[in-house]
Amino acid sequence: MTKITSVQNEKIKQVIKLKDKKYRDHEQKFLVEGYHLIEEAYKAELLDMVFTTSEDAPYQDITTHQVSYEVIEKLSSTKTPQDIVGVVSMKPSAEYNKNRYLLLDGIQDPGNLGTIIRSALGFGIEVILLGSDCVDIYNEKVVRATQGSLFHMGFIRGNIVEMIHHLRQSKITLYVTTLDKAIEISQIQLKTPYAICLGNEGSGIKQEVLELADERIYIKTNTQLESLNVGIAASIIMYEFDKKMKG
């Protein structure tokens, strides 16, 4: 491998642009850092290219460039960069042909979204639908928080009301989280296929989404607690639904 030492190298300049959402969307590629995420991307057959300070290529079938630490610093989005960065292809949009969906309405915090994606994979969700006002799933903080779960989950992004209409056409029951006129999650009679909808960290579910719900659900907590973090709430609900599915 010929070592790239300059951040002004044309290939490096193009790859750095993937930090920008518009460029990511145009190229349908994004960056990951560290051996674990790169290994997960490789296993999912989404890894396109590797940049590393090591003299050894981690994968013989993947184009690999040896680079200086200065270049890795430029490609990285963390204060203490790891010595390997990968270019990964985005997965094509999923389809409405599954049994378990998660619908997210305006989730803004990257850490919350990453946690939700990770839990969704663990509790049987097959497709996550993201309203157009959700944080980008390829945001570097989201990618890190998923710990690789991102590569094994289906995603659809779009107008939330239009996505709900698609769910209805597939006869999917929509469970929406709210405290208003809702059933405690342990008391529901689960109908499948299903979609669970959670809302924005501050304002919750949009009224237009609430009005499209088949059932309204909530988590019973100690009265001293005002509300749960949306990532935690999502994990609890997905766990309960998964448990009901398994009988």
> pLDDT, tens digit, for every residue of 57-86?
999 999 999 999 999 999 999 989 999 999
Phi, psi (rounded to 5 degrees) for 199: -115, -175
pLDDT at 246: 86
pLDDT at 225: 76
Give the mean pLDDT of the chain.
95
* CB neighbours of residue 202 within 10 Å: 9
> Taking the model in full, what pTM does it have?
0.93
What is the average per-residue pLDDT within 133-156? 96
Binning pLDDT at 50, 70 and 90, where does residue 115 land?
very high
Measured between alpha carbons, how far is 214 from 111 in angstroms, rounded to an integer?
29
Pairing outcome for strands 47-52 and 63-66: parallel
Percentage, residues of the chain above pLDDT 90: 90
pLDDT at 238: 98
Max Cα distance, the chain (Å): 65
Indicate if the pLDDT at residue 2 is higher than 80: no
SS3 of the chain: helix, strand, coil, percent, to 5: 35, 25, 40
126: which 2 tokens? 């097959």
The domains located in the chain, with CATH, are: 10-89 (3.30.1330.30), 100-245 (3.40.1280.10)
Binning pLDDT at 50, 70 and 90, where does residue 123 land?
very high
Contact 100, 123 (CB under 8 A): no
pLDDT at 9: 96
123: which 2 tokens? 């509790």
Binning pLDDT at 50, 70 and 90, where does residue 221 land?
confident
Q: Which residues pair with 199 in a beta bridge?
A: 105
What dihedral angle (degrees, nearest 10) is formed by the CA atoms of 203, 207, 213, 218?
30
Indicate if the pLDDT at residue 222 is higher than 90: no
Phi, psi (rounded to 5 degrees) for 152: -120, 15
Indicate if the pLDDT at residue 227 is higher than 80: no
What is the average per-residue pLDDT within 216-237? 89
Indicate if the pLDDT at residue 19 is higher than 80: yes
Residue with tokens 């049987």: 124
Instruction: Report cis status (omega within 30 of 0) of the bond before 193.
Output: yes
Measured between alpha carbons, how far is 130 from 113 in angstroms, rounded to an integer?
10
C-alpha distances out from residue 213 to 115, 131, 155, 161, Å: 24, 16, 21, 11
What is the average per-residue pLDDT within 207-222? 93
What is the average per-residue pLDDT within 101-120? 97
What is the average per-residue pLDDT within 100-123? 97
Return all residues near 92 (Cβ < 8 A) that are at least 6 apart.
none
**Which is more confidently placed, 1 or 92?**
92
Taking each helix axis as running N to C, give the angle between helix 230-245 and helix 110-122, from 0 to 180 degrees, rounded to the nearest 10.
10
Residue among 131, 115, 80, 110 nearest 236 (CA): 115
